[in-house]
Structure 1
Amino acid sequence: MILNEETKVPLTALPVQAFKSHLRLGTGFGEDAVQEAVLEGYLRAALAAIERRTGKALITREFSCRIEAWRDVCGQTLPLAPVRQVLEMSLIDVDDNLTIVPADRYRLAGDAQRPRIAPRGTQLPTIPNGGYAEVFILAGYGETWGDLPADLAQAVMILASHYYEYRDQSAGGTDAFPFGVSGLIERFRTVRAFGRIGA
């Protein structure tokens, strides 16, 4: 399964001003626009890192899942949570012919950790030989920063601060998070055996 981000987190959803206050940065030096672009970059990097580590979409946006074979025809676990809506399912054959699956043939089995797409009948539609299914979903806690659970929002802020403070140092290949961040996200983590994020 390949997970792709179809729409980006809008700038208006990022707490750039709050992040600036968190870092105790001054204003009025004529470089605010440049500085805010830099801060936006660190917030986006931290948000992406938290999403990868937890398997949760923080800000609501659209994703697509390419699935070459159902793991279970009675219900396919999705690689991201929380899923708010299944927007569309389509089947693509080996010749790239696309067939949209009617919405009355499947449903979202919501779950805070492991949401699934389930059939309304006995099983999910058959994926063509050599083809794949593509499922478009809307996932995330909400459209604004205030919709996030407080501990996830704080984890992003701390991690973005860490990236900002150590911006001149190489990560050295480590994937370690600061201890405070790891503690804040621990309850949101799930073991993800399915899916990888594509470009």
Structure 2
Amino acid sequence: MASKTEKLLSLLDGQPVIPVLKIDRVADAVPLARALARGGLRVIEITLRTADALECIRRAAGEVEEAIVGAGTILDARQFDEAAAAGSKFIVSPGVTRELLAAAGGSEVPLLPGAITPGEIMTAREAGLDFLKFFPAEQAGGAAFLKSLASPFGGMKFCPTGGVSAGNARDYLGLPNVICVGGSWVAPDDLVKAGKWDAIEALAREAATLRKG
């Protein structure tokens, strides 16, 4: 698991914001991925929250060479395998289960599982994971709660997602135990539906400047 964490971190390559995308129309997948990549956000997460999510992953991964496409909202081993087969370079889940850990253990595709409680974090740590999704971040206590985890879990790093926005992203990125944040604000539904790719590119370019430090 540790080597896969390193693989995931290398894919991120210092990107501060991971776009979390819910794509309703397959036709939007490729231009959306291209717009985000042009803005500096090459790594994207397409969530399995729509009927055509796997096809969106397949098209974005297959047609946008500059994009690094991952799959989110993975709940079980079947979805893990389907997302990996569709071309996902990484898998994100809202929580951590033994089934998902087993699926990840048999795959070259790295897993970023969600955890918010000390028990969940310890379960992931026992499995050899030290990079986790902190979800839902704002609802679970926000940056203050995540900061309180830095001391007892000194070796653990997080990607907070859920309620993270342009307004509070820096609060999270300033924490010593945060690698990046996940957010949907860089691709608002209204801009996607209107096909305003230039506007999305501009939002991505702005988000890409939210470096740690």
Greater per-residue helix proportion: 2
Higher relative contact order (CA 8 A, sep 6+): 1
> Which of the two has higher C-alpha Rg?
1
Greater per-residue strand proportion: 1
Q: Is the shorter-chain TM-score for this pair beyond 0.5, marking a shared fold?
A: no
